[in-house]
């Protein structure tokens, strides 16, 4: 379905991003993965995508807080594969703390990585998509792009910003056969979610099991974590011709969270 196309996926060395990479590679897309982590583990994943799916996969270590490195990542994809067909903005970090003690440096980092990086990738990729007359941009937002939770001021602000950015760019490129959408997952069991459990325990004075049951899954009527494969499946659909009229949309995959 995607043979010959190229996908750049930020934050794709683990979790949802890696699931995106594998889902698109399984349909024939060449892949540019990006993110931090152990170099050997990243190389193992990169080589594994190539061997399992028979596509070309390269790694670019762009720091999502540095616009010049982001631009180099897009240009590297173009020089390697001729263009960028699919862009998935997935890089993200989290910090959980009350507003009065929320570290300024954490605010700045979350806004840079979770929101501003998507502006920089799109700004660099859209001209190439316009030139070829086709493109798919998918932003990993969150249920927190639609609703808020306490102690997550920076994350919620960034994700609400992603919603506005998605809608704005969708309108700008609508006549160029480029769609721009945001997937809004509820709680997905990923390293990012797992890492915020101790912070939430501290912020709310709860045990680990209480955090899982009474915080993470409290808002999801299914009482189940969303899987990375389910999120990747939605992204894959958005890359199909069947989804060519879906643009500027926030697509919840949250176990009913935002239906309440």
pLDDT at 199 over 90: no
Model pLDDT, residue 97: 92
Domain ranges of the chain: 6-187+226-252
Q: Catalytic residue at 187?
A: no
Q: Nearest 5 degrees, angle CA 128-CA 230-CA 193?
A: 95
In CATH, what class is 6-187+226-252? alpha beta
Q: Active-site residue among 20, 59, 155, 187? A: 155
User: What are 211-252's pLDDT values in tens digits?
Assistant: 988 888 988 999 999 999 999 999 999 999 999 999 999 999
d(CA 100, CA 143): 24
d(CA 65, CA 157): 17
pTM of the model: 0.94
Model pLDDT, residue 214: 87
Sheet containing 86-89: order of strands: 57-60, 30-34, 6-9, 86-89, 135-140, 178-185, 250-253
Model pLDDT, residue 190: 83
* Residue 225 DSSP one-character state: P
Mean pLDDT of 43-55: 98
Model pLDDT, residue 28: 98
Q: How many CB atoms are closer than 10 A to CB 47? A: 12
């Amino acid at each position: 379905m995607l043979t010959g196309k190229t996908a750049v996926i930020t934050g794709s060395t683990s979790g949802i991003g890696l699931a995106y990479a594998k889902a698109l590679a399984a349909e024939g897309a060449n892949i540019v993965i990006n993110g931090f982590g152990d170099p050997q583990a990243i190389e193992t994943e990169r080589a594994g995508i190539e061997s399992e799916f028979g596509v070309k996969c390269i790694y670019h270590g762009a720091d999502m807080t540095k616009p010049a490195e982001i631009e180099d990542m897009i240009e590297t994809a173009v020089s390697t594969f001729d263009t960028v067909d699919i862009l998935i903005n997935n890089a993200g970090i989290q910090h959980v703390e009350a507003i009065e003690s929320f570290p300024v440096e954490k605010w700045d980092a979350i806004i840079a990585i979770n929101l501003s990086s998507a502006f920089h990738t799109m700004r660099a990729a859209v001209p190439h998509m316009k030139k070829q007359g086709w493109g798919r941009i998918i932003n990993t937002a969150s249920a927190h792009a639609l609703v808020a939770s306490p102690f997550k001021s920076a994350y919620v602000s960034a994700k609400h910003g992603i919603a506005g950015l998605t809608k704005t760019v969708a309108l700008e490129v609508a006549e160029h056969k480029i769609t721009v959408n945001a997937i809004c997952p509820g709680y997905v069991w990923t390293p990012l979610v797992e890492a915020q459990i101790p912070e939430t325990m501290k912020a709310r004075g709860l045990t680990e099991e209480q955090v899982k049951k009474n915080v993470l899954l409290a808002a999801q009527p299914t009482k189940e974590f969303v899987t990375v494969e389910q999120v990747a499946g939605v992204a894959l659909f958005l890359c199909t011709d069947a989804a060519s009229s879906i643009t500027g949309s926030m697509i919840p995959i949250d176990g009913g969270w935002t239906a309440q």
